[in-house]
Structure 1
């Protein structure tokens, strides 16, 4: 895909708007889920947000690391999702930007805010007299969430690099199912235009001149 400053600016503006909308949705959803629930369910919500960030981080890195060549062979054999996979690889910069920088980072930020809310609920259950326990719980829970996020993304990066082709094909198959069975079209892979007519015209001209 050729680089264009105009397209880059348009994409930056578009992705900023999408990030703002997704951040609002994630914040409202997490706040709604955390209200009126116990700290145990709140911890579950935080873990789900962490794994969402890891999952999208894997998808974005796999798209950036994948090679386009294997998918052409799959497309010639009419493997479902292969054309979508080619489109993903050709637009890996935008796809990885959306997965890693938009969904992944937003999920990380929201999980941090949600973990703080869970810590407050957990600390309130110990009462006012046990300050040491409240401090220990706060530090340990925050450290566990941070370690789970960083460790999960580190393992996910290794997995994404070594199995990039399989991951991108899996994503392509998901898009294929959404498009053909659920009628939800995310994008339409561009097909190459046939050049047989141009070649035929050239041959006809050469024959006439001869």
Structure 2
């Protein structure tokens, strides 16, 4: 199997696994809790799709030279931002295609669950019309949000990528701090007993 085919298969399997996990979790939340919380879950899913679309677009549109200059000046998060820009095709594919498609699919499923919670599955006119209205509303909000987000990402590409780089740098610093703390606690020598210690 060639490298290109391997990457495509990896993306497909990753998308399948993430979509199944997120869809199951979101539908469980939507069906177990109040309609209000289900709507909040739906809004968060749509916002996540828009946010990652902004990140993917900004990464593809960012200029490497200014970020490289910031990295040379040791600007916080610039090294991480530079890594994102240099891996722009992979980052854009993951953010725009994988996460974006998952959020689009899951938001539709959660919207359908909300319809069932509010009007049920009867044969009334409202019950038949609500799924269409909800799906159309979710699609309209998603498309409008991504359209506005893309323009923002193109206009402020370097700023967006640097902000993401700072988030990654903060996360890496947090993980390193916890790891070093555990290593120190494990490597701490046992206290030697003095003659006055009880046996």
When normalised by structure 1's length, the TM-score is 0.77
User: Would the alpha carbon gap of residues 24 and 61 (structure 1) be closer, same or farther in structure 2, given more than 3 Å must change?
Assistant: same
Q: Greater CA deviation, 6-15 or 65-74?
A: 6-15
Q: Structure 1 residues 140, 20: CA separation in 2 closer, same or farther (over 3 Å shift)?
A: closer
Gaps of 5+ in 2: 178-199
CA contact (8 A) 2:57 2:150 kept: yes
Does the aligned pair in 1 maintain the 2:53–2:100 contact within 8 Å?
A: yes
- Residue 29 (structure 1) shift: 1.0
Q: 1:54 is matched with which residue?
A: 50
CA change 1:66–1:97 in 2 (3 A) is same
The yes-or-no answer on 1:166 pairing with 2:162 is: no
- Check whether the contact 2:50–2:146 (CA below 8 A) recurs between aligned residues: yes
Q: CA deviation at 1:116?
A: 1.0
**1:155 alignment counterpart:** 148
The answer to whether the Cα contact below 8 Å between 2:31 and 2:117 also exists between their aligned partners in 1 is no
Size of the aligned set, in residue pairs, is 177
TM superposition shift of 1:13: 2.4
CA distance in 1, matches of 2:89, 2:16: 20
Equivalent residue, structure 1, for 2:93: 97
- Aligned-residue CA RMSD (Å): 2.1
Aligned to 2:15: 19
When residues 24 and 134 of structure 1 are mapped into structure 2, their CA distance, relative to the original with a 3 A threshold, is closer
Q: Do the aligned residues in 2 keep the contact of 1:123 with 1:138 (CA within 8 Å)?
A: no
Rounded to whole Å, the distance in 2 between the matches of 1:44 and 1:53 is 14
Uncovered stretches (5+) of structure 1, i.e. residues with no partner: 185-210
Q: Go from structure 1 to structure 2 and tell me whether the alpha carbon gap of 1:78 and 1:114 turns closer, same or farther (over 3 Å shift).
A: same
